[in-house]
Structure 1
């Protein structure tokens, strides 16, 4: 017991010492207050950024509500019918989760209603589309967001003009067009997408203009006229331009994966298919104004989207998208529906714009006894300027000639149709081309029938010829047809048993490359279609792509690391099929030429230059000789400089060697072994012995 008391007393003394050392007492409460003068510089966003994004807002639940004015005033017996009409009009923008019809004392509607959508974007789309919608002669809808009422109440009575923004000089974004020798630019992607290089195709060697690592998170692309280069990032898209490729503007759109330029580069469309991965950002499809960087309108894609969702007219005045049994055409700069309503087309499958006129071509599938049909629609009048009925159609593909002179509809048809017990069975397949002559009166249509499978089709960009690959995949045939005014297409030439699956016309026409890409092995045939001579046949093994430069002077074949893991790189050819350079680059991914602006020369001026081309050929040849002589001079100067550097280096080393000679003699007992044999004139000699022959003599 005494030992236990001593132990307890010792423990108490130890605890007391600890408390004295810590300067605290068990009875005292701990103080968690900040010291005097302390400044908290950590915000709630830094600590709880992810949670604050999910914090409910006062406007939640109200942003999805729209107010529809101009609704018919009906009695209790007609409210159900009115509700079905309203739902039919407004439910196509998204699911309606709640609706409210205010009534007076007699039970009649008051002429306005409230609709709540499941998503604010659906409500915004409904307002933009249905505002001023004409229900009948007496009723026109006036549609607003519920939140707009508060916004309009807070408008100040006195208007203050906005402050003018300072002008930002971006320089000449088309500087590359002023290159005196018309050298084109191109970018290449290497390092499995991590590095981007911009090159100029100068002679005799290409010149590197820019190289940046991690310039884009996924991919890059040129704008249609070559003004900008677009890069993808997690938070949006950036456009770069000028001689130093500075950032021109950026567009914030989280998770963007696709973009599309309008043909005249006025507008940009971005698409983020997985907005659910970015809380608070519910905009999937956005149209931007490139010059101002402002968001013009957002859209909600219906069903599975095929990119590009929007297709633009040649002058940026209209863009359209296909829906279920309808075609929606929008106009700029208002970005509203043309005539405030979509075009109802039962069974529409596909459409395309003319590259030179505001004309739409679309085709609709067969429906029972109604045949399939291809229709040409003039915009904005919506007049049908031509249509063609088609029977036994499996599929259609539309191909416009670049100048808009011709439209070819590639029709896949069934050969046999059997009807048994109201069931229709199809067997066999054949193909034909419907050629629409767009510049002729009443737009006549000619047909070309092909019994074999069609693998590829391509119009001559400038001209009236088209080429097709048909037959068996291993030994396909290539046929060229010519189209003339007032005549049916004529077969011009057929190449039998060609190992090819792709057609690549030169931008200026006349020359074409017949390529066997990917699994065929990279066979290449360079053809002049004036007389259909094969200028050269060659091969780039495992080639994945063929790219003509904008002038049609050069063509590049490439092997991409994204498709093939060995022998990646690109080869540069002349338009005649002569190999000029081979660039073998590890982890080479892609190459793309910078587009050029359309020429300012008239057709007559271009034809005049073609006629007098021999007159200018001497100038071009003299320039080429000067480049070669310049290259030879540069090579000679480089070699002379290297030889001089080596002579200086050798002289320094000889001096050092002579300085160390006494040390070598001391180590070798004063025997000079540097010179094995020396004559009286101190001329070094070297004795070389070699075996000539061997003789044997027998002595008895």
Structure 2
């Protein structure tokens, strides 16, 4: 035995002896098997999984990385020689660099230094690689080269496929319901969304003739505001972590889009894409705060960084969502979907561009540039995607242009603020009207001697309304008829006095009827309902302090509202007919009202000739609608009578039970010897007490110096 072994402590020797004896006996000195309370019964089978026991802990279990989660492979790139490889790398890095930070890249070449047409990219984060695969796959570089993108780890996955095929498990389909179910209502009632209680409660309502009917109501549905999609299929709510979409008869969540602190959202007209904007940047190395999403899959299609000079909406869409444009300093970039690449792979260099706007019906785009030296200011209309100039209008001494398209794309109205002479002291005003449906697109000009407060084109017609003058002294409203092949003619000028001044024009979606309103200043709330077919004032009314006005999609109703976001008192909304007759006001239950938004309707599926036939036979249908209205009124009266009858029945039943209880009480008092008197009232002794209740408490600070 060595010296080291001899010097072991006695206590340690004793522990070893105890341990050896325990091992020989097959028992534990401290926990004897015979006395243990932790044994499983005989035949016990443990069928509880780790996920059930430790589900909250296993989700944070560290994963073993293979090292290739951030690596992707891109195929079908152009095969070029060594003299063009560097230029191609620049283009490819620009395409895939928007998905994240590229930390490594490899472009294989053959023995002649010819690029093989595929390359490898490694991103900083696996999430960036996932985004690159989802969005980059199918990217069209040109007509002959459409990228195929996949993960590098897919090689091992497909290499080690099992010999025996096992069919994949069916994914349970989640049915959200018909996102346009409200259109099936037999009475064609429109829906709206109302936000109240200072934004904490949201209700989707149905606009019945005599009152508003709540379809669904939820608390804390949104954290800021909400918005309908352009065709009414989805309701978007904003939250701290992103945006959620809701649809179907029960308004189930159909999608969510994660971006912190979203401030603004916008939809493409086709509802396929959603644009979100946030000042908060998730990744400082990739400061993209404008994101375009696919509304159906939730995929992130493209991201942009906002420039300081850009104003919302930053991305402007064509009428069908096929193209969208973005204006930066001296550049107008047009992108096409679904590739989300630049149209023709290049932006248009337009020095000094100030604004642009798409036609609501065609692939026509208008923009304007200011004067530069001796070069006059210009309004230019382009045809996309060819970029051919359809029309150009030049003007000198221009201060500003304001573009406004006709809803059907028939006209482009431009408000022109220009100076009278080179001294640039006196401003003049005019309206340029581009006739988009006529050959060579002629331009007519309406000279207006006074400042233009507001102007608007009739949606389904050819009239133009202009509010002009010097507020608050005296302003006027003038209506013009835009004639085909001729100059616009003045229909009528309305002189409006100071106490009834208006500053907003709201055309009915179906045209002909218009509301002139004052929605600014302390005297806001004045409303005038006009029929421009006969130029008659149907009604003039008042909604004190009204801050918003909105027509319903059919043009039958108008809502004026006072938001708690504008003032704290007398909030709510009022429903009007298109003739200006007050129908009802929001109920007291919708207190601390915030906003009211009509649910948009999708474009009609009827052809133009069918719509004309319906308008021609309108009298034939009017009797049916009048009868339905009378039935609705009688039904409402019948419901009211039934409600009153039910209340009376409940009262009689309550009174019968009370009288029965009173008779029992009287009988008991008589049996106890209590004199109930002639009128049946017990003569009991009462003690009068005075009770003092503190109603309120006021504290005042007394100035000792006074």
User: Given the two structures, how large is their TM-score scaled by the length of structure 2?
Assistant: 0.75
The residue aligned with 2:580 is 577
Q: Equivalent residue for 2:8?
A: none
> Given that residues 204 and 627 in structure 1 are in contact (C-alpha distance below 8 angstroms), is that contact kept between their aligned partners in structure 2?
no
Q: Which moved more, 1:149-158 or 1:174-183?
A: 149-158
Task: Measure, in 2, the Cα distance between the counterparts of 1:534 and 1:469.
Answer: 16
> CA separation in 2, counterparts of 1:597 and 1:132?
31
Matches within 5 A, 1:227-266: 227-266=233-272
Match of 1:344 in 2: 349
Partner residue, 2:489:
490
CA contact (8 A) 2:230 2:267 kept: yes
SS at match of 1:287: strand
Please name the residue that 2:190 is paired with.
184
Which residue pairs with 1:450 in the alignment? 448
* Contact 2:309-2:328 within 8 A present in 1 as well: no
Q: Cα gap change, 1:242/1:513 in structure 2, threshold over 3 Å: closer, same or farther?
A: same
Check conservation: 2:140, 2:339, Cα contact below 8 A. Answer: no
Change in Cα spacing, 1:180 to 1:152, as seen in structure 2 (3 Å) is closer
What is the aligned partner in structure 2 of residue 462 from structure 1?
460
Q: Hey, what's the Cα distance between the residues in 2 that align with 1:294 and 1:460? A: 39
- Within 2, Cα distance between the matches of 1:164 and 1:281? 38
> Residues 638 and 215 of structure 1: is their aligned pair in 2 closer, same or farther, counting only changes over 3 Å?
same
Task: Measure the CA separation in 2 of the matches of 1:151 and 1:219.
Answer: 43
Aligned 8 A contact 2:477 2:494 in 1: yes
Checking the alignment, whether the CA contact within 8 Å between 1:73 and 1:111 is kept in structure 2 is no
**Residue 172, structure 1, aligned to residue 178, structure 2:** yes
* SS across alignment from 1:561: coil
Alpha-carbon spacing, 1:432–1:367, altered in 2? closer, same or farther (3 Å) = same
Find the aligned partners of 2:612 and 2:639 in 1 and give their Cα distance: 39
8 Å CA contact 2:71–2:151 kept in 1: the answer is no
Distance in 1 of aligned mates of 2:169 and 2:321 = 30
2:358 maps to which residue?
353
Question: Could you tell me how far 1:586 is from its partner in structure 2?
Answer: 2.4
Residue 383 (structure 2) pairs with residue 385 (structure 1): no
Instruction: Give 2:222's aligned residue.
Output: 216
> How far does residue 220 in structure 1 lie from its aligned partner after superposition?
1.0
Q: Report the aligned-residue RMSD.
A: 4.4
CA 1:657–1:669 in structure 2 vs 1: closer, same or farther (change >3 Å)? closer
In 2, distance between residues paired with 1:299 and 1:163?
38
Identify the residue that residue 290 of structure 2 maps to in structure 1.
285
Task: Label 1:62 to 1:652 Cα distance change in 2 as closer, same or farther (>3 A).
Answer: closer
Counterparts in 2 of 1:108-147, with a 5 A limit? none
CA contact (8 A) 2:260 2:280 kept: no
Supply the distance in 1 between the matched residues of 2:297 and 2:318 (Cα, whole angstroms). 21
How far the C-alpha of 1:152 sits from its partner, in A, is: 8.7
1:507 counterpart residue number: 509
Cα distance in 1 for partners of 2:555, 2:250 equals 26
Describe the superposition over 1:42-82 as per-residue Cα deviations: whole angstroms up to 9, x where unpaired: 999999x9xx9xxxx9999999xxx99979859xxxxxxx9
String of CA shifts for 1:566-620, please: whole Å, max 9, x gaps.
0001111110000010125421000001111212223333233223322222222
- Is 1:394 aligned with 2:394? no
Determine the structure 2 residue equivalent to 1:531: 534
Indicate the SS of the match to 2:628. Answer: helix
Say whether the 8 Å CA contact 2:503–2:520 is kept in structure 1: no
**Any conservation in 2 of the 1:399–1:408 contact (CA below 8 Å)?**
yes
Q: What is the CA–CA distance in structure 2 between the aligned matches of 1:99 and 1:264, rounded to whole Å?
A: 38
Structure 1 residue corresponding to 2:551, chosen from 532, 548, 555: 548
1:115 and 1:416 mapped to 2: Cα distance? 61
Q: 1:350 to 1:644 in 2, by over 3 A?
A: same
Indicate if the aligned counterparts of 1:71 and 1:111 stay in contact, CA closer than 8 A.
Answer: no
SS of corresponding position for 2:613: helix
Distance 1:42 1:636 in 2: 58
Map of 2:653 onto structure 1: 648
1:373 is aligned to 2:378: yes
For 1:368-403, what per-residue CA distance to the aligned partner results, in whole angstroms no more than 9, with x for missing partners?
Answer: 111111111111111111111121111111100000
Tell me, yes or no, if structure 1 residue 301 matches structure 2 residue 300.
no
Q: Secondary structure at the match of 2:422?
A: strand
Distance change >3 Å, CA 664–CA 593, structure 1 → 2: same
Structure 2 distance, partners of 1:618, 1:111, is: 75
In 2, are the aligned partners of 1:191 and 1:587 still within 8 Å (CA)?
Answer: yes
User: Helix, strand or coil: the match of 1:427?
Assistant: coil
Question: 1:420-459: per-residue Cα shift (whole Å, max 9, x none)?
Answer: xxxxxx2121111111101100111111111211111111
**Compared with structure 1, are the counterparts of its residues 347 and 90 closer, same or farther at alpha carbon in structure 2 (3 Å cutoff)?**
farther
Contact 1:567/1:586 (<8 A) preserved = no
Q: Is the 8 A contact 2:398 2:418 kept in 1?
A: yes
Tell me which residue corresponds to 1:631.
Answer: 636
Change (3 A) 1:117 1:629: closer
The alpha-carbon distance between structure 1 residues 666 and 459, as it changes in their structure 2 partners (threshold 3 A), is same
Distance (Å, rounded) in 1 between the aligned partners of 2:639 and 2:151? 74
Aligned match of 2:519: 517
Structure 2 unaligned residues grouped into runs of 5+: 1-37, 40-49, 108-114, 682-706
* Residue number in structure 2 paired with 1:440: 438
Contact 1:665–1:672 (Cα < 8 Å) also in 2:
no
Describe the shift of the 1:193–1:670 C-alpha distance in structure 2 as closer, same or farther (beyond 3 A). Answer: closer
Give the counterpart of 2:325 among 320, 325, 333. 320
CA shift for structure 1 position 669: 6.5
Q: Deviations over 1:621-680 (max 9, x none)?
A: 21111112212222222222211211111111112212222455588974623169xxxx
| 1:587 counterpart (589, 592, 597) | 592
The 1-side partners of 2:247 and 2:228 are apart by 10
Q: 1:194 aligns with which of 188, 192, 200?
A: 200
| Count of residue pairs the alignment pairs up | 605
Whether the aligned pair in 2 keeps the contact of 1:269 and 1:286 (CA below 8 Å) is yes
Secondary structure at 2:460 match in 1: coil
- Which consecutive segments of 4 or more residues in structure 1 shift more than 6 A? 39-47, 57-63, 67-72, 96-100, 110-121, 131-134, 147-155, 158-164, 278-281, 666-669
Shift, 1:281, TM fit: 8.1
**SS in structure 2 of the partner of residue 660 of structure 1:** helix
Alpha-carbon displacement from aligned partner over 1:493-549 (angstroms, at most 9, x marks no partner): 111125111111111011011010131320000000001111000100000111111
Structure 1 distance, partners of 2:637, 2:676, is: 50
Q: Are 2:518 and 2:526, in contact at CA under 8 Å, matched by a contact in 1?
A: yes
| Aligned-pair CA distance for 1:279 | 7.6
CA offset at residue 260 of structure 1?
Answer: 1.1
